[in-house]
Every structure is written in structure tokens, then in C-alpha cells.
Chain A
């Protein structure tokens, strides 16, 4: 199963606008996408579970995708995080 590791640089962490963008990006794909932070794992298409990760600035995320468009999904998520969510607030 393809997997990437990313660090959240954005100052608000994976909250607010970055969290919305993250979930909206995940939702564009058919694959099941899981995001793990520390001991918690969330469905990347669920805003509530993503928020409940409590992933702040500097959090290291483990993101896995499973499905036909898994690598495209991870690519999209990777560029979102690497691009610092378009520096949205």
C-alpha cells in the first residue's frame, strides 16, 4: 500500500482552512485514505476525525492510500502539504 510521511509546516497545523483543504483533496479520490498522527489514525475524508488528530504545526503525519487511484491521491496530498496549503490561514 503506497504511503508517504509529511510534516505539517503550517502555523495553524492541520486545523481550520488547512484541514478543510486536506479533506476536500482526499474526497476527490476513490481510494480509502488513512492519516496517522502518533497513536491516532483518521479517515482522511472525515473532517471530524482529521480535526480530532489534534495535529499542530510540526506534526509528522503518516498517510496511506488504498485503491485504484492511490498514488494519484498521495501525490495530490503531498503537493498540498509541501505547498503549505497555499499558505491559507
Chain B
């Protein structure tokens, strides 16, 4: 038995076989190493293999995902047989002496670019299809095989260097027992995805993760941040027991999930969910969410080749807002840039994307990007309790500019005869230290604040949250971060505005007493964390929470803060049933 140490990123215990999710390396030689006839033969063979893959996928898509998905693969099948494309590849091989890989890549790229140049939503999607087809053939030429997600066939623990949202969208989540990554911190995408799914995860477990043999039995201990490789029978038995106990304890919290979160001395706080799509909305309702504190809208933009239309966005927002009826749903406007990219926006690469043109900074100057989303939100707010908030706000001027665009959209929609809400609250995410410092000024411009502690911590601590080397520094438990949280809450309350928190911190059992004590009004977290958070809030009094918060702000580091809470509230021990 071997033990790997990492960061506990999503609670729970998973036991199962190892599955390596390896990213393909698609680098290739530009010039042919063989003569042209051999190179062309290589290409034709690869083409045939790729064509068969497509026919197979198309049949699967038709059976599993319906005609729209199948149509995409039908279009791709026609492209792979396209006589003009094949002629271009042949010419590049025979006349320019290029390798099959380079010839295909260049020819496909020429078509992709000419389709994109027509600036049509549909044709841009086809440009992405041409590239996708080319990548498929390249994989065959390079002997790489299909997307790793396609190989996952039995329930497994996913091992990877790190995972991006576009990798994981293809994974069949019902076959994922747990995650273990070499890189990443507690707020890396793998961690966020795992918590969203309620699947145990350990991240930042170093490159040793990649040396685990495929199929080896693993235990992922998402409480202690351990991964056990080929555990002995006794260890496995103990972990199976623990898994059972934790499940029973959670069941207790689940039984009362629908009841409000009122402290033992009578203060009620709102406990709401962070969601990213309609499945999340349903899971949130089941877990007892009193609303949505963060509706991430990136799901509409990722994994596609063009911007979603206003109508498509409206339908998506409408479905979610309707599910919650009169309960609040806070939609965060597009938060792209930083570690989240949209290839079709063709954003210039930046040396420091986290400090670059992301989120509201990207949207304000691009009305073609921003307005369809705002219009869709305004329309979906009619008859529901939808609110919006802007991410990455640093100055009051940004709020005024963005609100002016909202007002313009409202006027347009009114002129076009759409039903509109009498009022739609417009708030901001407080995640840039500048916004926290100036919270008193910003509170006059925004209807509410929602603190994003993941980014607030990394910007305050100058520690990249995706860099394992500085992960402990980027913890939201750091006293300077907590002091900023207090400053934001105090500034907002002084102006009768409410404050929520939608970072990972809100669902952290050890953070809940502190946040409660600081006066937080709304706790927004991933649906699986909701029942336990409510249970913890019910077990506390405001008097004790204030006392803990006061003491925490005087400590020197994150470890000290966590130790303090554990000491003051022994029931919040990280292991099993004592959590409750």
C-alpha cells in the first residue's frame, strides 16, 4: 500500500479502480519524413479509421442525445469526405512535401478561416467542426486514440495532471467515483466540479499520481486529502465503514434540508446554491436551497463554436428562474478570461490572464457579447425573482457603465414590446481587493454584494489559486481575507444593503461560524453542501459565532483560524459523524 498526500478538495470517500485521463499531445513534424506516396497512403488509412469513428459516434449521438447532436456528426462525416479538402491535402503532400499531419492541419485551417470570415453564427460553428474533424484524423495519424473521456467504461477514480471544464464535459459523470489530480488547489476546476457533483476529490497530490498503474485499486479520502494505492484488506474495510457512517450522518442533515437555517438564538440567514445549469438547479431544490446565490452562465458559452443567441439564453434562464418561482436567482454575467477561455472569441493571449481583460472588463466594451445576455436576463426576470450581478468589479465607474448598458437594454426591450419586471436588482461580486476596500462607495451603486472568496483570496494574498506551490497561501481562511469580508459586510449594512458570499468558503463547515459571526446575510454554496451547512447554522448561536469571528481576525494565518474553530466547536471535527 502506498499513500499519496494532497489537498482535500471535495469531501467523502471513494473506493475504486484508477483511470488515467491523459491529454493528447498533438505536435507533429511539418515536413514529410517519407516520400509523398507513402505519406498520402498514411493519410488515406487514417482517414478511413476516423470516418469509421464518426459513423459510430453519430449512431451513438442519435440514440443518446437526439437528432441535433447527431446532425453535427453527420456534417462532420460529410466534411471528412469532402473532395476539395482531400484535394488540398493531396496537393500539400505531393507538391509542398508536407507531412500528412501538416497538410491536413493547414488545409482544414484554410477552410475553417474562410467559413469564419463570413461572420455567421452557423458557419462559425461549422468552422469548429472542420477543426474537430482535422483533430480526429490527427489523433489517428499520431496514434493517440480518441478523447480519453470516451474510454471510460466502468465506475472509476479519475487521475489526471489537472482537468479543464472542456475535458470534463465529455466525461460520463455516472462513471466517476472520485478525482485525484497532480496539480491544482482547493479552488481548481477539478475541485469545484467535484464539489458540484458531490464526488470526493484530492488535488495537488504531485506527479506521483501519474505513476499509479491503470486499474489499481484506490481509496480517495476527501476528508484528509489522502489517496491510498492498492490498500490492504483491513484498510479497505475501515474505509468502507467510514463511508457508511458519513452517509448515515449526511442522511440526518438531508432529512431536515427543507427547513430554514435559524441559529439557536433566532437569527435566520439565507442558504442558497451555486449552480451552473438546469441540472444544478434541480439538485439545489432537492438539497433545500432557498434560492440561487450564484448562477454561473458560462455553461451556455463553453463547448460550442459561436456565441449563444439572446433567445437561447432567455430560454435557459427562464427555465431555471421558473423552477425557483418567487425565490431569488442571482445570475452572474459572463465571467470569461483568467483561467476560462472561449476559443471563438479569439481573445489575445495575455501574460497575466487573472489580471487581464476578464469578466466585466471584457463585457463592457463589447456590447455584441454583453447585450444579448442582459436582454435575456431582463426578459427572464419578468414574473420571477431573477437578479443579476457583475463579476470582477474594481471601481464604481464600472458599475455605472454596466448599469447604463442594462438601462439601454431595458429601453430597447420596452420599445420592442417585451414584458419586463418592474425592478431587477443589480449587484456586484466583491472579489477584487479594490472593491472590498472601497465597499462603502460601491454600496451606493449596487443593490447588493456577493463576496467571491476564491478570487478575493488569490488577489489579496498575491497567490495564484491554481498553483499548487502557493495553495495554502491562497486559502480564504487567511485573516487578511476575513478582515476584508468583515469590512465589506459592515460597509454594506451601514447603507442597508445585504451581503452574500458565493465562494467555496460559504460551504466550509469550519468557516460557517466565522461568517455567521461577521454578520453575513446569505450563504451560497454547491448543492451537496447545503444540508450540512444548514445543520451547522442551526447548532450555533450568534453570540458564540461573533466571539469566534472576533478571535479569528486577530490570528496570523489560515491554519490558526481553522484550529481555533475546531477548538471552539469540537463537533466540527473533520471526520465522519462528529461533523454533526
Contacts and interface: CB of A to CB of B under 8 A. Distances in A.
B123 A54 contact: yes
Interface string B278-292: 000000000000000
Nearest to A12: B122
Contacts of B102: none
Contacts of A45: 83
Interface string A14-56: 0111001001000000000000000000010111110110100
A47 B82 contact: yes
A52 B123 CA distance: 8
A71 to B, nearest CB: 22
Nearest to A17: B71
A51 B84 contact: no
A48 B85 contact: yes
Interface stretch (B36-44, B113-121, B319-327, B420-428): B113-121
A16 B118 contact: no
Contacts of B84: 43, 46, 48-49
A51 B83 contact: no
Contacts of A17: 71
Interface stretch (B73-81, B239-247, B547-555): B73-81
Task: Name, among B71, B82, B118, B123, the residue most crowded by chain A CB atoms within 10 Å (CB to CB).
Answer: B82
A51 B123 contact: yes
Given A20-B74, A43-B84, A48 B79 contact: yes
Interface in B90-135: 111, 114-115, 118, 120, 122-123, 126, 130
Contact of B115 (A16, A23, A43, A51): A51
A44 B542 CA distance: 74
Nearest to A45: B83
Given A20-B75, A47-B75, A54 B118 contact: yes
Contact of A52 (B71, B75, B111): B111
A12 B71 CA distance: 15
A20 B75 CA distance: 7
A17 B75 CA distance: 9
A88 to B, nearest CB: 11
Contacts of B78: 20, 23, 47
Nearest to B86: A46
Contacts of B126: 51
Contacts of A20: 74-75, 78
Nearest to A43: B84
Contacts of B118: 52, 54
Nearest to B122: A15
B410 to A, nearest CB: 30
Nearest to A49: B84
B158 to A, nearest CB: 36
A43 B83 contact: yes
Contacts of B71: 16-17
Task: Name, among A16, A43, A52, the residue most crowded by chain B CB atoms within 10 Å (CB to CB).
Answer: A52
A75 B416 CA distance: 45
A17 to B, nearest CB: 8
Contact of B123 (A15, A23, A46): A15
Nearest to A42: B84
Interface in B49-79: 71, 74-75, 78-79
Contacts of A43: 83-84
Contacts of A47: 75, 78-79, 82
A54 B83 contact: no
Task: Name, among A43, A45, A46, A54, the residue most crowded by chain B CB atoms within 10 Å (CB to CB).
Answer: A46
Nearest to B74: A20
A48 B112 CA distance: 9
B82 A48 contact: yes
A17 B82 CA distance: 16
A45 B81 CA distance: 10
A46 B123 CA distance: 15
Contacts of B123: 15, 51-52, 54
Nearest to A16: B122
Interface in A65-79: none
B242 to A, nearest CB: 54
Given A51-B123, A51-B126, A54-B120, A46 B115 contact: no
A88 B330 CA distance: 39
A15 B124 CA distance: 12
Contacts of B82: 46-49
A56 to B, nearest CB: 8
A48 B130 CA distance: 8
Contacts of A54: 118, 120, 123
Nearest to A15: B122
Contacts of A16: 71, 122
A49 to B, nearest CB: 5
Contacts of B75: 20, 47
Contacts of B74: 20
A52 B122 contact: no
Given A20-B74, A20-B75, A48 B111 contact: yes
A12 B84 CA distance: 24
A45 B79 CA distance: 11
A47 B75 CA distance: 8
Given A48-B82, A48-B111, 5 more contacts: A12-B122, A17-B71, A47-B78, A48-B84, A49-B82
13 contacts: A15-B123, A45-B83, A46-B83, A46-B85, A47-B79, A48-B111, A48-B115, A51-B123, A51-B126, A52-B111, A52-B114, A52-B118, A54-B118
Interface of A: 12, 15-17, 20, 23, 43, 45-49, 51-52, 54
Closest 7 CB pairs of A and B: A46-B84, A54-B118, A47-B78, A48-B111, A52-B114, A48-B82, A46-B82
